[in-house]
Amino acid sequence: MAEGQKVKVTCLGQIVIALFMLGCVAGAAWSFGLRPTWPPSFAGYGGGGNTPRPVDPGHGATHSPNPAPTPQSVPTVELGIAYGTEKERWLKWAVQEFVKTPEGAKIKINLIPKGSLEAAQALLADDKKIHVWSPASALYKDVFVQEWQLKHSKNPIVKEDVLALSPMVFVMWAERYDGFISKFKEINFTTIGQALQEPGGWQAIAQRPEWGIFKFGHTHPNSSNSGLMTLVLASYEYNKKSRGLVLKDILDARFQGWLFGIERATSGMSNSTGNMMREMVLKGPASFDALCVYENVALDYLKNAEGRWGELRVTYPKINMWNDNPYYIIDAPWTTPEHQQAAQIFLDFLLTEPIQKQALVHGFRPGNPTVSIKEADSPFVANSRYGFKIDLDEIAEAPKAEVINNLLAMWQRSVGK
């Protein structure tokens, strides 16, 4: 009997030991993350396909305390990009797409809309929110670099690249365009100046007194690149050259009388090309008959204008310049290596083919040369009847910093709007 009881106790002990071992195995499995998922994933529900939903770290996801580093991983960082509003529609779309990428989950992009010169002046005033400067063109770059070096004794630009290209255009309401051409035969700065000085306004130009005076606009040259570009192109036209604009050319009294006669009669003077084009489309011919703007801005608002006030027409200055929409990664006291790495990652993303194709949709000539602008669905081909074209007549070079500085100073002294 005693021997039987001993056997019974031994069997019970074996059961206890077995249960204990099973518990250990289960606990180990749990600690290594082999646990059931709850709530269950509904892959494909609502159009998700087979792609699993991302897990919100704040709602029960478990992460290894020391995740293995990846080659492109960067610390979470906020990146401030001061950009010209001519790129607003494209950049806002691009940021929405970037957020969907693994890198975009780690980098917060803060888009800061500023006129090209306005952003440069903000950097020189130590605006610590800006880590990347993306003006409409490199026209003001030399001035900015010289002023930065005087203050910080080093180059402010770590890396630069071209995002997209856009020349300048004159954009005018189609009905006004027909009346203008009937009298002046072509649109250039000389004929625009003549129309602005015409005391009879549209009555003298096209026998349309109900249109009032001729109203031409461009942005403020001390704030916005397109306003400065307008002054430079007018200077080249007057001097009948496309390169080598020097101080002697712009200090000529007859030139100054001609240019500032146009400028004193010019309307608007917004600090944003995109905002000025938007105002023209919203308010119609009552605000402007014509503007000098970027090609991409005219293309981007083409259909909006047609649905409100009628068709637009564009023409290209015979001597033109490229707005190359550079992307400058800034080396400032407030920028860290993490900011610069994040800026490079976003730059690489902007230059990918899908993002560059969307730039084309918004009227830019992509900076990525693999994206064609001559296909049938290209906006330049599809909208050729409005005056858009691919090939330009003559491209001028950017003047030196001393010419830019003096031109702006003379404008401020003579016009000062």
Residue-wise pLDDT tens digits, 289-324: 999 999 999 998 999 998 899 999 999 999 999 999
Q: What's the pLDDT score for residue 4? A: 41
User: Whose CA is closest to 299, among 386, 176, 369?
Assistant: 386
* pLDDT attached to residue 340: 98
Q: Is it the case that residue 69 has pLDDT exceeding 90?
A: no
Q: How far apart, in whole angstroms, are the C-alpha atoms of residue 308 and residue 400?
A: 42
Counting every residue, how long is the chain? 417
State the amino acid at position 417 in one-letter form. K
Phi-psi region of 334 (alpha: psi -120 to 50; beta: other; left: phi over 0): alpha
Average confidence (pLDDT) over 163-191: 98
User: How far apart, in Å, are the Cα atoms of 150 and each of 32, 39, 153, 187?
Assistant: 58, 61, 6, 42
3-state secondary structure of 356: helix
Q: Output phi, psi for 132, to 5 deg.
A: -135, 135
The whole-number pLDDT of residue 85 equals 87
| pLDDT tops 80 at residue 405 | yes
The pLDDT score that the predictor gives to residue 268 is 80
β-sheet bridge partners, residue 165 = 365
Q: What is the pLDDT of residue 23?
A: 52
CA distances from 84 to 132, 172, 273, 281, 293 (A): 12, 22, 8, 19, 13
70 compared with 348, residue with greater pLDDT: 348
Which band of pLDDT confidence, cut at 50, 70 and 90, is reported for residue 14? low
Q: With 70 as the cut, is the pLDDT of residue 406 above it?
A: yes
Burial 43-82 (b: 16+ CB within 10 A, else e): eeeeeeeeeeeeeeeeeeeeeeeeeeeeeeebeebebbbb
Q: Which pLDDT belongs to residue 57? A: 34
- Average pLDDT value for residue range 381-389: 96
Q: What are the structural domain ranges in the chain?
A: 77-165+324-386, 166-322+392-415
CATH fold of 77-165+324-386, please?
D-Maltodextrin-Binding Protein; domain 2 (3.40.190)
Percent of the residues in the chain that have a pLDDT greater than 90, as a whole number: 76
Q: Is it true that the peptide bond before 354 is cis, omega within 30 degrees of 0? A: no
- On the question of pLDDT at 327 being above 80, the answer is yes
**Mean residue pLDDT across the chain:** 86
Which pLDDT band, with edges at 50, 70 and 90, does 37 fall under?
Answer: very low
- pLDDT at residue 376, as a whole number: 86
Q: Considering only CA atoms, which of 368, 374, 328 is closest in space to residue 352?
A: 368
Does this chain's domain 77-165+324-386 share its CATH topology with 166-322+392-415? yes
Please indicate whether residue 369 or residue 66 has the higher confidence score (pLDDT).
369
Write the secondary structure of 25-89 as one string of H (helix), E (strand) and C (coil). HHHHHHHCCCCCCCCCCCCCCCCCCCCCCCCCCCCCCCCCCCCCCCCCCCCCEEEEEEECHHHHH
Q: 235-274, pLDDT tens digit by residue?
A: 999 999 999 999 999 999 999 999 999 999 999 888 889 8
Single-letter amino acid code for the residue at 72: Q
Residue 285 makes CB contacts below 8 A (sequence gap 6+) with 173, 176, 211, 215, 309
Separation between Cα atoms, residue 298 and residue 388, nearest integer Å: 10
**This model's pTM is above 0.85:** no
Which of the two residues, 12 and 382, has the higher pLDDT score?
A: 382
Taking the CB of residue 125, how many other CB atoms lie within 10 A of it? 7
49 pLDDT exceeds 70?
no
Q: Which CATH number is 166-322+392-415's, of 3.40.50.1370, 3.40.190.10, 2.60.120.650, 3.90.420.10?
A: 3.40.190.10
399: helix, coil or strand?
Answer: coil
Distance CA 43, CA 53 (A): 7
Asked if 227 and 293 count as a contact pair (C-beta separation under 8 A), the reply is no
Asked if pLDDT for residue 86 goes beyond 70, the answer is yes
Q: What mean pLDDT is predicted for residues 131-138?
A: 97
Confidence label for 206 from pLDDT (cuts 50, 70 and 90): very high
d(CA 415, CA 260): 7
pLDDT value at residue 271: 86
